[in-house]
Structure 1
Amino acid sequence: MLEGIHHVAIICSDYPRSRQFYSEILGLKIIDENYRKERRSYKCDLALPDGSQIELFSFENAPTRPSRPEAQGLRHLAFRVQDIANAIEHLSAQGVECEEVRIDPYTQKRFTFFADPDGLPLELYELPAN
């Protein structure tokens, strides 16, 4: 029945800052961007290379959502990368700090965490090309 994830929606506290982070720092392609006057809200659709998308929204006075300590709900968003060292180097050059690389005890794959401008936990999960 389910065939994959189409998109993940994120409400930003500072839309221009998040738009720049996801498009320029993470390199996601902007495929559509609209200002919805009736809602005084921006919506930006960003594409990942596999076709999945991230939607960024701005809403006035949106309440904050705790992500730490481990709050109920969405825990983090993980991005697949082929070379975690190169991805970390790219993020570091942009001023984005990553946690120490860890090894998943079940899959033996390498991963690390970093945060978006609102503190949303993001993960890099290394899956080298075969």
Structure 2
Amino acid sequence: MKIAGIHHVAIICSDYDRSKKFYVETLGFSIIAETFRTERNSYKLDLQVGENAQIELFSFPNPPQRFSRPEACGLRHLAFKVDDVEQSINYLKSQGVETEDIRIDELTGKKFAFFKDPDNLPLEIYES
């Protein structure tokens, strides 16, 4: 087997409209498809991330909270590649999104910073 890349990342949100607005309007991802699945009372929003990746944003009635700490077992965070971390932080702050301070990756020397989506999912912007 040869894996060619990451196709998508699936996210379950607690408030579909709020998360859709965040990922589409604030982060600027384009909508590929939006489907309401009546039998599940659930939306599935397919979003284009860059040229080769997608986010599947799901809504389900009353999803359970995920136990999370920075070093908990499981998915730690989702990182997005950006050209300019400072410019990206300024934009996020102008949209009312709180960000952490810029850090430097001790292994690559690249700048990065964390912020959260409406459900407190840890997201990262990482200098390309």
Q: TM-score range by the shorter chain?
A: over 0.9
Are the counterparts in 1 of residues 70 and 76 from structure 2 also a CA contact under 8 Å?
no
Q: Deviations over 1:65-124 (max 9, x none)?
A: 022242110000000000111111110000001100000000000000000000000000
Q: Which segment drifts farther, 65-74 or 102-111?
A: 65-74
Are the counterparts in 2 of residues 17 and 117 from structure 1 also a CA contact under 8 Å?
yes
Give the number of equivalent residue pairs. 127
Q: Deviations over 1:24-77 (max 9, x none)?
A: 000000110010000100000000122200010001111010222421100000
Name structure 2 gaps, 5 residues minimum.
Answer: none
Q: Corresponding residue for 1:87?
A: 88
Q: Corresponding residue for 1:12?
A: 13
Are the counterparts in 1 of residues 116 and 123 from structure 2 also a CA contact under 8 Å?
yes
**SS of aligned partner of 2:74:** coil
Q: Corresponding residue for 1:58?
A: 59
Q: In the alignment, does 2:24 pair up with 1:23? A: yes
User: What's the TM-score, normalizing by structure 2?
Assistant: 0.96
RMSD after superposition = 0.8
4+ long deviations beyond 2 Å: none
Q: For the residues of structure 1 that align with 2:80 and 2:87, how far apart are their CA atoms? A: 14
Q: For the residues of structure 2 that align with 1:52 and 1:110, how far apart are their CA atoms? A: 22
Percent pairwise identity = 61
Q: State how 1:36-51 maps to structure 2 within 5 Å.
A: 36-51=37-52
Q: Corresponding residue for 1:116?
A: 117
Name structure 1 gaps, 5 residues minimum.
Answer: none
